[in-house]
Amino acid sequence: MSIHIDRNLCIGCGRCSEVCPGNLIKQQPQPGDRHTKAEIKCPQDCWGCTSCLKECPRHAIKFFLGADVGGRGSILSYQKKGSSSIWRVKGTDGTFQEITVNTKEANKY
Amino acid sequence: MVIKIATDVLIIGGGTAGCFAAHILGKISDYKVFIAEKANIQRSGCLAAGVNALNAYITEGHEPQFYVDYAKKDADGIVRDDLLLSMSKRLNHVTDILEKLGLVILKDQNGKYVTRGNRNIKINGENIKPILAKAARDNPNVTVQNHLNITDLKIVSDGSEHQTGQAVGAVGFDVNSGDYFDIDARVVLIATGGASGLYRPNNPGFSRHKMWYSPFNTGAGFAMGLRAGAEMTTFEMRFIALRCKDTIAPTGTIAQGVGAKQVNSLGEIYEHLYGLTTSQRLYGTVSENKAGRGPCYLKTDTISEEQESDLYKAYLNMAPSQTLKWLEKGTGPKQENVEIEGTEPYIVGGHTASGYWIDDHRATTVKGLYAAGDVAGGCPQKYVTGALAEAEISAESIVSFLKQQKQSEFSSLWNDENLKAGTEKILKEYEKFSANEEGLFSVESLEEAMQKIMDQYAGGICTGYSFNSYGLSLAKQKIATLEPLLGSLKAKDADDLLHIYELKERLLVCRVLIAHLEARHETRWHCFAENTDYPQKSKDWECYVNSKLENNEVKIIIRDLVKPGEVYEHTY
């Protein structure tokens, strides 16, 4: 259970570091670059709350399940568009499954 | 660097209760409020990922007493009726406030809330914590200090032997910069939540923090209260959740939402054989596994495609890992029943009755110290709305308390020489951990040792949650050998310092928990406190088991039940 941060997409804004309820994400200085990059200091300490996915303005953070809880390499990403939360699962074969949740609608259960 | 702060109200922990108390204080007073939050109030605490429903609500045709009766039955009588009633009376009122703050609640065509069963209402709770955080920040008198970890309360003692002192602030450090904070406050609200990470978790490896309760709720509030002489209650009523296997996602959404029954591997429905209280549902599953009929499941393979699709969305709003698991495997709950398991035990006053021993105003036994939410005891099944109700009650009590105190009296309390010396001692301890040489042990290795001891000798997952007196005495001895090792730990940075203090808190909570488990000579709640030396429930134990720390030793205090209609009051 943890996150993967795409270093190419990260702009070092620090919003993930700010919001993580476990203080797990650190901004690391990059040689020859005035911007930092986000890194998770201890991946096994992640609770899996996905707060960082929701904060990231570049959708650079993805979520995955550890192999010990049945993870098979798919990654979950999150994007907010208006009142829609778009969750996307990318499988290891490159296929996508997408679920859109209307944030103005309550759960049926 | 030591940063000095002075405030009227210090709130330790900006989770559900802490944020709401700050919001209410802004509505009913002009007092300065300082929230000390270990992470960031935006998503900290139990509600980080969201919540699926409001589980404590008085539905149409019911009275608050209906909820009291339910919670009391679930805890088999060991509750505080007075606390449950004052909470229950406010459940719908705080729900109205939540809706006004922006929470989406499902309504029918007549504008009435849609209920799930007779105590729950349906919501979209993904953003419930950002809503509460905004409500706190919108109080113009609130200062939020994120990333500040409080380790100790500042207590002024009047010198008498039996009198507990008065809380007049707290000490902590910034988990990023390492700066120290010395806070003077006229009154303190403790809202730090309960304790996880005491026992070896379901997934002890890479996904060790994939647990039910927040892994960042480490029992800090219990520990600092105990060290300040506060009385605690009912730690022995541990909470163990019945969850979806591996992801430790909620089962109630499936069980109540689509009416799925618990079945064993033979496909037999077993839940009716063991009873339907929270602990009995868990006990049934544990018993079926022990009898060789496991693993156990929620029977979902008869649901419709629409129901399956709604479950995917519901889980994304609170536990996205479960939806990911279904989608990535390619078999959803319609194709495959959902496997379930019990978690490791937690100490959490929002679900069971463990926590601070408080009066109906939510005052603890330490003057000037109030408690709300998961850290407060006697009042189980409070869930989100109950925590908000307690936050409101404590905010009102704090205003009454401050109105009775003269501002001038506090400067003499804050300048007390013993108090200053105590603060210096705590700051020196922070420095000591930073100055230590790196030794043989890491925080992680000691935490692992603690969790193993608790698992094997104090009723963890590996024994099906059962324990006996002999095992508990071993647990006590072994935990006691870990406590001295703490002193040699090295903090290379502020993260390390945080983890050292979290371990220190957990070790103390373990010690007190073991004493509580030893004290209650019966099995009133299966799994939650399954004592194989005393496998039956006993009328002799219709009482509270309380505790406090005296000269660093756990002292057990047995108290009579507060009867229905009575309101307990402290006598300090």
Chain B nearest-CA distance from A59, in A, is 16
Please check whether residues B296 and B351 belong to one and the same domain: no
Asked if B246's CB is within 8 angstroms of A44's CB, the reply is no
Question: What is the residue extent of each domain of chain A?
Answer: 2-102
Position B65 in a domain: no
Asked if A66's CB is within 8 angstroms of B210's CB, the reply is yes
- Which domain CATH number covers B14? 3.50.50.60
The first and second tokens of residue B167, run together, are 């809380």
Residue B162 pLDDT? 55
**C-beta neighbour count of B106 within 10 angstroms:** 18
Contact B152, B426 (CB under 8 A): yes
Please check whether residues B24 and B43 belong to one and the same domain: yes
**CA-to-CA distance for B201 and B240, rounded, in angstroms?**
11
**CA-to-CA distance for B318 and B51, rounded, in angstroms?**
5
Position B8 in a domain: yes
Please check whether residues B30 and B143 belong to one and the same domain: yes
Asked if A44's CB is within 8 angstroms of B208's CB, the reply is yes
Domain residue limits at B408: 2-47+127-239+346-421
Interchain CB contact of A16 with B (< 8 Å):
no
Residue B250, classed as helix, strand or coil, is strand
**Can you say whether the dihedral through the CA atoms of B422, B479, B356, B181 is positive or negative?**
positive
Total of domains in chain B: 3
Adjacent-strand bridge partners of B170: B153, B183
Q: Which of B342, B372, B405 represents a domain boundary (last residue)?
A: B342
**CA-to-CA distance for A66 and A64, rounded, in angstroms?**
7
Backbone angles phi, psi at B506, to 5 degrees: -65, -40
CA-closest candidate to residue B199, choices B486, B479, B468, B440: B479
Mean pLDDT (chain A) is: 95
Interchain CB contact of B83 with A (< 8 Å):
no
Asked if B38's CB is within 8 angstroms of A106's CB, the reply is no
Q: Is B388 exposed, middle or buried (0-12, 13-18, 19+ CB in 10 A)?
A: buried
Asked if B327's CB is within 8 angstroms of A74's CB, the reply is yes
CA-closest candidate to residue B249, choices B333, B341, B337: B341
Task: Tell me the chain B residues in contact with residue A66 when contact means C-beta distances shorter than 8 Å.
Answer: 203, 205-207, 210
Interchain CB contact of B144 with A (< 8 Å):
no
Quick check: pTM over 0.95? yes
**CA-to-CA distance for B239 and B247, rounded, in angstroms?**
18
Residue B462 pLDDT? 97
Position B431 in a domain: no
Helix (H) or strand (E) holding B232: strand B232-233
Residue B497 pLDDT? 98
CA-CA distances (angstroms) from residue B433 to B224, B440, B492, B496, B504? 18, 14, 8, 9, 12
Q: Which of B363, B391, B421 represents a domain boundary (last residue)?
A: B421
CA-CA distances (angstroms) from residue A44 to A2, A91, B215, B322? 7, 22, 11, 18
Print pLDDT tens along chain B (572 aa): 999 999 999 999 999 999 999 999 999 999 999 999 999 999 999 999 999 899 999 999 999 999 999 999 999 999 999 999 999 999 999 999 999 999 999 999 998 999 988 999 999 999 999 999 999 999 999 999 999 999 999 999 876 655 679 999 999 999 999 999 999 999 999 999 999 999 999 999 999 999 999 999 999 999 999 999 999 999 999 999 999 999 999 998 998 889 999 999 999 999 899 999 999 999 999 999 999 999 999 999 999 999 999 999 999 999 999 999 999 999 999 999 999 999 999 999 999 999 999 999 999 999 999 999 999 999 999 999 999 999 999 999 999 999 998 878 888 899 999 999 999 999 999 999 999 999 999 999 999 999 999 999 999 999 999 999 999 999 999 999 999 999 999 999 999 999 999 999 999 999 999 999 999 999 999 999 999 999 999 999 999 999 999 999 999 999 999 999 999 999 86
Residue A33 pLDDT? 87
- Say which DSSP state B469 is in: H
Asked if B316's CB is within 8 angstroms of A101's CB, the reply is yes
The first and second tokens of residue B445, run together, are 């290795």
Position B94 in a domain: no
Task: Tell me the chain B residues in contact with residue A96 when contact means C-beta distances shorter than 8 Å.
Answer: none
Please check whether residues B362 and B234 belong to one and the same domain: yes
Q: Is B89 exposed, middle or buried (0-12, 13-18, 19+ CB in 10 A)?
A: middle
Task: Tell me the chain B residues in contact with residue A45 when contact means C-beta distances shorter than 8 Å.
Answer: 208-209, 215
Interchain CB contact of B38 with A (< 8 Å):
yes
The alpha carbon of residue B482 and the mean position of all alpha carbons in its chain are separated, in whole angstroms, by 24
Upper half-sphere CA count for residue B564 (Cβ side, 13 Å): 5
Mutation site, A2, A17, A49, A53, interface B, largest B CB count within 10 A: A49
- For residue B212, give the chain A residue with the closest CA: A47
A1 falls in which pLDDT band (50, 70, 90)?
low
Closest CB to A106 among B123, B208, B324: B123
Question: Which A-chain residues 76-105 have CB contacts (< 8 A) with chain B?
Answer: 76, 85, 87, 89, 91, 97, 99, 101, 103-105
Fold of A2-102: Alpha-Beta Plaits (3.30.70)
Closest CB to A46 among B209, B254, B323: B209
Please check whether residues B19 and B142 belong to one and the same domain: yes
The first and second tokens of residue B195, run together, are 């304790």
Please check whether residues B19 and B157 belong to one and the same domain: yes
**CA-to-CA distance for B22 and B395, rounded, in angstroms?**
8
Please check whether residues B231 and B248 belong to one and the same domain: no
Please check whether residues B536 and B463 belong to one and the same domain: yes
**CA-to-CA distance for B104 and A108, rounded, in angstroms?**
12
Chain B nearest-CA distance from A55, in A, is 10
Task: Tell me the chain A residues in contact with residue B116 when contact means C-beta distances shorter than 8 Å.
Answer: 109
Position B193 in a domain: yes
Chain A nearest-CA distance from B75, in A, is 25
Position B556 in a domain: no
Closest CB to B39 among A22, A45, A107: A22
Residue B116 pLDDT? 83
**CA-to-CA distance for B258 and B318, rounded, in angstroms?**
17
Q: Is B69 exposed, middle or buried (0-12, 13-18, 19+ CB in 10 A)?
A: middle
- Which domain CATH number covers B512? 1.20.58.100
Compute and round to an integer the Cα radius of gyration of chain A.
Answer: 15
Closest CB to A108 among B209, B314, B328: B314
- Say which DSSP state B337 is in: P
**CA-to-CA distance for B522 and B101, rounded, in angstroms?**
45
Please check whether residues B327 and B454 belong to one and the same domain: no
In this structure, chain A runs to a length of: 109
Interchain CB contact of B209 with A (< 8 Å):
yes
Please check whether residues B272 and B234 belong to one and the same domain: no
Residue B163 pLDDT? 63
Q: Which of B285, B307, B342 represents a domain boundary (last residue)?
A: B342
**ipTM score of complex:** 0.96
Q: Return the number of CB contacts < 8 Å for A and B.
A: 177
CA-closest candidate to residue B509, choices B234, B219, B213: B219
Closest CB to A109 among B258, B323, B498: B258
Please check whether residues B157 and B208 belong to one and the same domain: yes
